[in-house]
């Protein structure tokens, strides 16, 4: 989940003076703020505004293209292949929004360390928090985050109205500070607002209406994801990454026996991986994670000599190995294209619209 603290603070602090005195047509529905796009970003924004006392008298609308799904009372046996590594700052946000306890009761996995391995040498990194009680991150399913926020909005945010399965046909932002923004839905419904917030992804209608510079290009890469059944000593509370010949491989722990895979590779190779049988896919994954065929002897000897220097820190022992993949949990494999997209201006100078969703995933 990637948001802009700058845009959020300006959005909350600089627009209230413009809510009064705007002109809007009586034939359209008027809202003080319209958030286009749900998901983790849009739902979090709607929840934050709905819980903010300064917005207690404002009408807020959340437009969700898909169908909102509440967080189930008990989690399904099979994990979703779409997860996020949520750092301490995001956990703090979830606590402030009142959804963290619900997420913990559902299922989250604490990560205490991150270990990064090289493919062509024995070089490795171990990252943790200076304070041992502080987690590096929690791994949480995306749909659980969305569901918990959706439930919180429904129960605790009476000023927020949610329209599900609402596709935006067009969005028009006026250059005048005293005119409203106009949104037309695919079903013909007309909406006017003092402030429109875009959380509608890489093809954002809100961003297009802002007419700001936008840089975008594809990486010709895809992220292959799956849920893995693994064998590992201990609690499986370490996130692993290895820079393989075919691209970086990451294991994100879900339970003591399950991890989530993200393998960033070329689109052609991603398609090849998806075409393999489950058994051959597991073999290919283990081979790429453990192979030493690309190891450079000269580099390794240099690293060994360097490690004997008195000023070097203690290296990890030989027992520190990534989990061994046993199988897939079902066939949870999927691939998602990756690309770069950056909106040069997240907030227009007259604060009628803002962009808060800026991701590399398509």
pLDDT, tens digit only, all 362 positions of the chain:
444 433 333 333 333 334 444 444 446 799 999 999 999 999 999 999 999 999 999 999 999 999 989 999 999 999 999 999 999 999 999 999 999 999 999 999 999 999 999 887 777 888 888 887 889 999 999 999 999 999 999 999 999 999 999 999 999 987 777 789 999 999 999 999 999 999 998 888 898 888 888 899 999 999 999 999 999 988 999 999 999 999 999 999 999 999 999 999 999 999 999 999 999 999 999 999 998 887 767 676 676 776 777 766 655 544 478 999 999 999 999 999 999 998 888 776 544 566 676 555 55
Q: Specify whether the CB–CB gap between 183 and 168 falls below 8 A.
A: yes
- Give the pLDDT of residue 310: 75
- Give the pLDDT of residue 120: 73
Would you call 288 helix, strand, or coil by DSSP? helix
Q: Specify whether the CB–CB gap between 29 and 161 falls below 8 A.
A: no
Spacing of C-alpha 109 from chain mean position = 16
- Give the pLDDT of residue 352: 55
Collect all residues with Cβ–Cβ distance below 8 Å to 308 and sequence separation of at least 6. Answer: none
Would you call 138 helix, strand, or coil by DSSP? strand
The residue count of the chain comes to 362
As a whole number of Å, the CA-based R_g of the chain is: 23
Query: What span, in angstroms and rounded, lies between the C-alpha atoms of 147 and 71?
Result: 4
- Give the pLDDT of residue 27: 65
| β-bridge partners, 110 | 138
Query: What span, in angstroms and rounded, lies between the C-alpha atoms of 277 and 5?
Result: 44
Query: What span, in angstroms and rounded, lies between the C-alpha atoms of 331 and 327?
Result: 10
Q: Which helix (H) or strand (E) holds 304?
A: helix 297-307
Report the 3 state secondary structure along 314-330: CCCCCCCCCCEEEEECC
Task: Tell me the two tokens of residue 138.
Answer: 């929690």
- Give the pLDDT of residue 8: 37
Residue whose C-alpha is closest to residue 41's, from 107, 90, 102: 90
- Give the pLDDT of residue 136: 94
| pTM for the model | 0.85
Would you call 253 helix, strand, or coil by DSSP? strand
- Give the pLDDT of residue 201: 87
Collect all residues with Cβ–Cβ distance below 8 Å to 350 and sequence separation of at least 6. Answer: 175, 177
Beta strands in the chain (DSSP E): 29-36, 60-63, 83-86, 109-111, 113-117, 124-127, 137-141, 160-163, 168-172, 181-185, 190-198, 214-231, 238-244, 247-253, 258-266, 324-328, 334-343, 353-355
Q: Which domains does the chain have, with CATH numbers?
A: 5-94+144-216+340-355 (3.50.50.60), 112-137+218-337 (3.30.9.10)
Collect all residues with Cβ–Cβ distance below 8 Å to 123 and sequence separation of at least 6. Answer: 117, 299, 303
């Amino acid at each position: 989940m990637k948001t802009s603290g700058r845009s959020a603070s300006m959005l909350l602090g600089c627009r209230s003076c413009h809510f009064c005195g705007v002109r809007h047509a009586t034939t359209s529905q008027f809202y003080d703020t319209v958030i286009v796009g749900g998901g983790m970003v849009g739902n979090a924004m709607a929840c934050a505004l709905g819980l903010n006392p300064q917005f207690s008298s404002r009408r807020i609308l959340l437009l969700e293209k898909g169908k909102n799904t509440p967080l189930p009372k008990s989690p399904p046996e099979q994990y979703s292949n779409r997860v996020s590594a949520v750092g301490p700052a995001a956990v703090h946000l979830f606590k402030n929004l009142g959804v963290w306890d619900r997420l913990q009761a559902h299922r989250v996995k604490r990560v205490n360390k991150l270990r990064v391995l090289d493919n062509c040498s024995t070089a490795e990194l171990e990252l943790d928090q200076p304070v041992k009680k502080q987690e590096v991150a929690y791994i949480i399913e995306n749909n659980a985050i969305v569901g918990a926020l959706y439930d919180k909005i429904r129960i605790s945010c009476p000023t927020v109205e949610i329209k599900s399965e609402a596709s935006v046909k067009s969005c028009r932002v006026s250059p005048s500070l005293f005119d409203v923004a106009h949104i037309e839905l695919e079903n013909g419904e007309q909406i006017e607002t003092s402030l429109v917030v875009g959380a509608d992804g890489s093809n954002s209608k809100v961003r297009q209406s802002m007419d700001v510079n936008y840089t975008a290009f594809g990486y010709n890469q895809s992220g292959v994801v799956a849920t893995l059944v693994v064998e590992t000593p201990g609690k499986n509370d370490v996130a692993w990454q290895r820079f393989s010949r075919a691209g970086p491989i990451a294991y994100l722990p879900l339970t003591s026996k399950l991890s989530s895979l993200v393998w960033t590779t070329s689109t052609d190779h991603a398609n090849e991986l998806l075409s393999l049988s489950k058994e051959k896919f597991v073999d290919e994954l283990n081979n790429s994670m453990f192979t030493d065929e690309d190891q450079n002897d000269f580099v390794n000897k240099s690293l060994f000599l360097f490690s004997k220097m008195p000023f070097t820190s203690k290296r990890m022992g030989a027992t520190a190995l990534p989990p061994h993949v046993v199988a897939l949990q079902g066939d949870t494999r999927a691939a998602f294209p990756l690309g770069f997209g950056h909106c040069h201006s997240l907030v227009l100078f007259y604060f009628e619209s803002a962009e808060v969703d800026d991701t590399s995933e398509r």
